[in-house]
Structure 1
Amino acid sequence: MILRRIDGRRAGLAFLCGVLATAALPPFHLWPLIFPAFSGFLWLLRDEARPRAALWLGWCFGFGHFVTGLYWISNALLVPPAAFLWMVPFALVGLPIVLAVFTGAITWGVVRLAPPGKPWLRWLAFGTFWLLAEWLRAHVLTGFPWNLMATVWTDTPAPLQAVAVLGPYGVGAVTVLIGAAFSLGRRAGAAVAALGLALLWGGGALRLDSAPGMDAVQPGVTLKLVQPAIPQSLKWDRNHLQSNFQKYLALSAPAPGEILSAVIWGEAATGYPIEDVAPWRAAIAERAPADGVIITGTNRYLRDAQGNAVQAFNGMVAFDAEGSLRGAFDKFHLVPFGEYIPLKGLLPLQIVTQGASGYTPGPGPRTLRLPGLPPVAPLICYEVIFPDAVIDRADRPSWILNITNDGWYGVSTGPYQHLAATILRAVEEGLPLVRVANTGVSALIDGNGRIWNKLKLNEEAALSVPLPLPLDPPPYSRWGDLVTLLIVTFLLPILALLRLRPSL
């Protein structure tokens, strides 16, 4: 009944507003589109008094937002196409259908709390509930905090600095409130939007004025980031494993006179577990820096007394020039259906990534100490998308290393969105972040979220970079999601006051 009473035009416009919100995100970064996206959407809700109807409109917004923002996930199911083609509709449409429930819940709550005629209450409630919904999306079940609204600013260093104080959820709420400001009327909206942008830009500019320059680096540390740009269709092809490995070795060679501290390869860089293949391990030792290590992603196995693999890990290992294993890390936040099957006993499915048995999570977050390098927080692939969950706060590292394989997603928006998430983590923690991706985008990011250098998507190259010094821990790094709780605690009494005022 509710669906029949909402005209298709409003549902379509809500969908379009969600699409506009996606266009404000990476790689487009058309941030002014937050105004038609969010002000336009609240305008659609201005006279709506039915919570269930508001839920439907919010769902339409969310579906438009997530189906256009996450379409690239289905690309992973096309490698190879025969095995997982049947899952494409579930990835392309099913996931957005589920995630749109969060935006539907936002608008349901807004209309329940704020009747028509109370624009200020609706505006603030929308931003508050958006913050709560993004936090829940990051934590419910296994969590999926991809494309948080704060990523709008990841190519704009000044407003990005607010993430260090307010965290990604707080900045996401501020972004939504700025975007929705014109739902308050033309003059009030212009004033609110101008004030919000001035605070973001002004505060960020002040922070950047005191930021270290590009000469503030760890003395004597040089890293080589290796990006072989091997297509995903060839990565696990047994006929190409040896040539792929040789490409890694060739790109890892130091330039004349270059003294390296570490050579870094991407996630699952080799088709075989390095620890078990003596010739490859010897070749890696020969290429490793004399006083440093080669760090690579590889599958790792726990074996029984007979040598049979009983557990598999998506791992990262470091070998020195003697061929000795100097450090190891196993991914602790696995990708559902990609690396393990939730409720495996009830769902007779095969994982999407290499191997059908699934991976076991390791302990984490952790800090590794490797020869020739400051203490590092290792992260593999999408572990980096989770705020307040990337470093061991009891053993603070000096930098973060994220290795990944975004080759699954081809030439799409996905790799750029993944890069944006790493930029947020660097600012939140005040730590330089080194990203090494098999097909790109590999990058060096400082603790203020500025990209010092990078390799383009699908560029075959190696990049030698220094390591920036860490910053003092910013508020979000010290307190984590307590910051989010404090923001909500601040907003709730304001919402209560607006609820009691008849004209607001």
Structure 2
Amino acid sequence: MRWLGALRGWRAHAAAGALGVLSAVALPPMHAVPVLLLTVPGLLALLGAQARVRGAALVGFWFGFGHHLLGLYWITEAILVEAARFWWLVPLAVPALAAVMALFIAAPCAAARAVPGGWPRVLVLAGAWVAADLGRQFIATGFPWNPWGSVWALPGAAGDVFLQPAALVGVHGLTLATLLLAAAPALGRRAVVACGAVLAAWAGFGLWRLDLPAPAPPGVTVVLAQGNIPQGQKWDREFVTGTFSRYLVLTRDGLAQAQRRFPGQAAAVVWPETASPYLMESDPNARAAVASVAQVGGMSVPALIGSVRFDAAQRPRNSLMAMLGAGPPAAIYDKWHLVPFGEYQPDWFPLPIQIVPGGGFARGPGPRTLRVPGLPAFGALICYEAIFPAQAVDPTDRPDWLVNVTNDAWFGNSTGPRQHLAAARMRAVEEGLPLLRAANTGISAAFNALGREQGRLSMNVTGVLVVALPGKLPPPFFARFGLVVPAMLVVIATVIGMLLAHANSKRIKF
């Protein structure tokens, strides 16, 4: 990495951008995690060559810009759905967002350059990086997409093993560990050996936890309906009847399949986000149609349906409605983490551009647990809400399982839906709760309370996924203490880094 340290000016910035792009291939769905063993030491080499903190911040900015440019390219797919209106945003949106997100990497790099190289710099970089990730969960309504801890959401058994520490420290804690491990080649042979031992212990913990007795299932079968409706057709009046009919058929056929596979079990059906083109709360004909197919042996079963509704102020809300028979909804959950510019117009945006007509959707009150006859209590996550760690459930009234409904049709067959799925899987591990996900065009999937996949429907497939609802675990450490855990890790890493820096300056050996 010495040649990187010799670069100056635009060459150093270009190298940082290239390292950031390469780091993005460690993210889902590519999961090329070993590249971080090259890119993090490379970043450290570039930082060490900067004479001033400002230069380190610029290196961090270009690293972050390249990283998020590739990691968030899928946002362009959403713009292309309405290219006739927003064609002008195609070359601007992702670079602009990548530049904003890069600031959250520039700041940790500046902090790291303020201390000597070696372990002090690595610890401060890791601590400040996670502090910045915590910040981007809340600043300007939050966008904690692609934290580096998500690289461990590997497909299959490997991911099952390496995700388990998230039950203790959450995805932010995994991010801190990832940075420390990836920096090992820059710290010498002893550091590499030590980090190899840590990784082995990490895997051992995962294997131990996966071998614990499985919690008892509640005896409920869930049908996840994946209608596979192209985004361009969802709100087109020409396709409304066909869309609704498709979900009715999937409901009927899915419940019949559920009774064949799990005879005698209680059942429920889940439709994705805004799956119903009709307003279920106020449309008795639509409710009657659902009630006619959402039944087993003549008895109504709960149907959890994504639908828009209008509140008392006539503001639209993105909702999940629990239907039981043809009457009004038995329970309603309103999405509270709304997507800036996609679902509402942020007040803080400085330009007078009205992308969302009328200000967009109204915000719900926050996480809540819903109770519907015939079902264990459940928490709802609508689309974007699944990316927020420690904000998935009501901590004062924990549910027995999580329902994630989403419409990823906006993002095509890109990395976006796959990264979204990895985030949802992480929430299952952090909360110790099974999570069942219904996605309009995929990927619909079910995970148990350890994050193990119970089944899936791939992208762009029309069908149903029928699964037996797994049991819940007692609240894991992270579920009990939430973001306090990674915040304390930030403090510990930063303080140790500063103490080591102070000791080195006085030539005291630890």
Class of the TM-score when normalised by the shorter of the 2 chains: over 0.9
- Identity, in percent, stands at 42
Please say if 1:249 is aligned against 2:252: no
Tell me by how many angstroms 1:278 deviates. 2.7
CA separation of 1:59/1:369 partners in 2, compared to 1, >3 Å: closer, same or farther? same
CA separation of 1:96/1:462 partners in 2, compared to 1, >3 Å: closer, same or farther? same
Tell me, what secondary structure is at the counterpart of 2:96?
helix
Q: Which runs of 5+ in 1 are unaligned?
A: 304-308
CA separation of 1:334/1:319 partners in 2, compared to 1, >3 Å: closer, same or farther? same
* Matched letter for residue 166 of structure 2: V
Please say if 1:327 is aligned against 2:336: no
The match for 2:304 is 295
After TM superposition, list the pairs within 5 Å mapping 1:287-366 onto structure 2: 287-289=293-295, 290-303=299-312, 310-343=314-347, 347-351=351-355, 356-366=358-368
Tell me by how many angstroms 1:34 deviates. 1.5
Count of residue pairs brought into register by the alignment: 486
Please say if 1:266 is aligned against 2:275: no
Tell me, what secondary structure is at the counterpart of 1:449?
coil
Aligned partners of 1:154 and 1:449 also within 8 Å: no
Deviations 1:368-413 (A, max 9, x none): 0012110001111101111111100110100011101000000100
Tell me by how many angstroms 1:217 deviates. 1.8
The match for 1:175 is 178
After TM superposition, list the pairs within 5 Å mapping 1:224-235 onto structure 2: 224-235=223-234
Distance in 1, matches of 2:279 and 2:351, equals 28
Distance in 2, matches of 1:69 and 1:345, equals 23
Q: Which runs of 5+ in 2 are unaligned?
A: 1-6
* Matched letter for residue 325 of structure 1: P
Deviations 1:187-235 (A, max 9, x none): 134213312311221221111121517xx4212x001000011111111
Tell me by how many angstroms 1:346 deviates. 6.5
Tell me by how many angstroms 1:466 deviates. 0.8
Tell me, what secondary structure is at the counterpart of 1:274?
coil
* Matched letter for residue 160 of structure 2: P
Distance in 1, matches of 2:88 and 2:277, equals 26
Aligned CA RMSD, in angstroms, stands at 1.8
The match for 1:158 is 161
Aligned partners of 1:211 and 1:448 also within 8 Å: no
Relative to the length of structure 1, the TM-score reads: 0.93
Aligned partners of 1:111 and 1:122 also within 8 Å: yes
Please say if 1:217 is aligned against 2:196: no
Relative to the length of structure 2, the TM-score reads: 0.91
Aligned partners of 1:298 and 1:314 also within 8 Å: yes
Distance in 2, matches of 1:73 and 1:356, equals 23
The list of structure 1 runs, each at least 4 consecutive aligned residues, that deviate by more than 3 angstroms after superposition, is: 256-260, 344-352
Tell me, what secondary structure is at the counterpart of 1:296?
strand
Tell me by how many angstroms 1:344 deviates. 7.9
The match for 1:131 is 130
Distance in 1, matches of 2:234 and 2:16, equals 41
Distance in 2, matches of 1:321 and 1:57, equals 59
Tell me, what secondary structure is at the counterpart of 2:232?
helix
The match for 1:7 is 9
Distance in 2, matches of 1:92 and 1:430, equals 34
The match for 1:414 is 416
After TM superposition, list the pairs within 5 Å mapping 1:108-127 onto structure 2: 108-112=110-114, 114-115=115-116, 118-127=117-126
* Matched letter for residue 177 of structure 2: V
Please say if 1:461 is aligned against 2:467: no
* Matched letter for residue 354 of structure 2: Q
Tell me by how many angstroms 1:347 deviates. 4.9
Distance in 2, matches of 1:344 and 1:279, equals 41
Tell me, what secondary structure is at the counterpart of 2:338?
coil
Question: Quick one: which of 464, 481, 484 aligns to 2:483?
Answer: 481
Aligned partners of 1:109 and 1:129 also within 8 Å: yes
Aligned partners of 1:25 and 1:152 also within 8 Å: yes
Distance in 2, matches of 1:334 and 1:158, equals 32
Question: Quick one: which of 29, 41, 44 aligns to 1:42?
Answer: 44
The match for 2:4 is none
The match for 2:60 is 58
